[in-house]
């Protein structure tokens, strides 16, 4: 009985530690270009990131808030960029790696497969790729302090 309790306790504690590690991704992050900030949340065990800040929030041509004008889907072109969910469906695979997600590039309107690797608690390596990881590009994201 004691052994069973010990195993159950170990499993629970492992799951707790895993969830803690996985949620290290939760927070507000700044991509390498510094023109946007993205808030990553855990929603039902998967991780999603929304654009919450833009260095240039308004379109210089119209003076109105930027929308997703480059989206190939016509119905999305009027959706505001601020609040746009650009990271989707990441699941934690352990050892600081989140996979099976996608990243959307508002500048080109393209969506790429993506993998996130935590380099340290304040730095992410986010790789977008086509097909296999080799055919992609990595960017470094940095964590922002939440007061």
Partner 1 sequence: MKLKIVCMSMALFLAGLVPLMAQDDDDDDWDIYGDLELVDDSNVKRYARPTIVGLSPTRFFSLSYDRQLAYTMNLSAARFPASGNSGWAVDEDAPVSESGRVNFTGGVRFNSNIPVISKSNLVWQSGLNYMRVGYNISDINSQSDASGLTQTLDERGLNNLNWTNTFFVPISEQNFFIIQAGLDMSGDYSWGLQPFNTVRWSLAAVYAKRVSESKRWGLGLARTYRVGNLNYVPVVMYDVTSANRKWGTEILFPARAHGRYNFSKNSLLLFGYELEGQSYRINDFSVGNNSYEIRRGELRPRLEFQKQVSGPFWMHVQAGYRMDWTFNADELEGSREFFRGFFGTQQFGMVNNLSNAVYFNIGISFVTL
Tell me which residues touch partner 1 (CB under 8 A). 28, 30, 32-34, 37, 39, 41, 52-53, 61, 70, 72, 82-83, 107-110, 112, 122-123, 130-131, 134-140, 142-147
The rounded distance, in Å, linking the Cα atoms of 60 and 64 is: 8
Least Å from the CB of residue 108 to partner 1: 6
Least Å from the CB of residue 12 to partner 1: 20
Choice between 3 and 145, CB closer to partner 1? 145
Least Å from the CB of residue 8 to partner 1: 25
Dihedral sign computed on CA atoms, order 100, 90, 111, 138: negative
- The closest alpha carbon to 51, from 74, 28, 33, 23, belongs to 28
Least Å from the CB of residue 10 to partner 1: 27
- The closest alpha carbon to 124, from 137, 134, 139, belongs to 139
Stated length of the chain:
147
Choice between 11 and 77, CB closer to partner 1? 77
The rounded distance, in Å, linking the Cα atoms of 100 and 115 is: 7
Q: Token pair for residue 84?
A: 């746009």
Choice between 4 and 23, CB closer to partner 1? 23
């Amino acid at each position: 009985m004691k052994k069973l309790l010990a195993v159950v306790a170990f499993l629970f504690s492992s799951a707790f530690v895993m969830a803690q590690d996985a949620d290290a991704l939760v927070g507000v992050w700044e991509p390498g270009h510094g023109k946007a900030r993205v808030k990553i949340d855990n929603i039902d065990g998967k991780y999603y990131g929304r654009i919450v800040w833009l260095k240039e929030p308004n379109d210089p041509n119209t003076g109105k808030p930027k929308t997703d004008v480059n989206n190939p889907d016509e119905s999305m072109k009027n959706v505001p960029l601020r609040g746009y969910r650009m990271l989707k469906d990441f699941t934690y695979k352990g050892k600081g790696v989140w996979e099976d997600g996608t990243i959307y590039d508002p500048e080109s309107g393209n969506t790429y497969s993506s993998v996130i690797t935590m380099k340290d608690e304040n730095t992410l390596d986010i790789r977008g790729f086509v097909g296999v990881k080799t055919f992609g590009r990595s960017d470094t994201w940095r964590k922002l302090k939440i007061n």
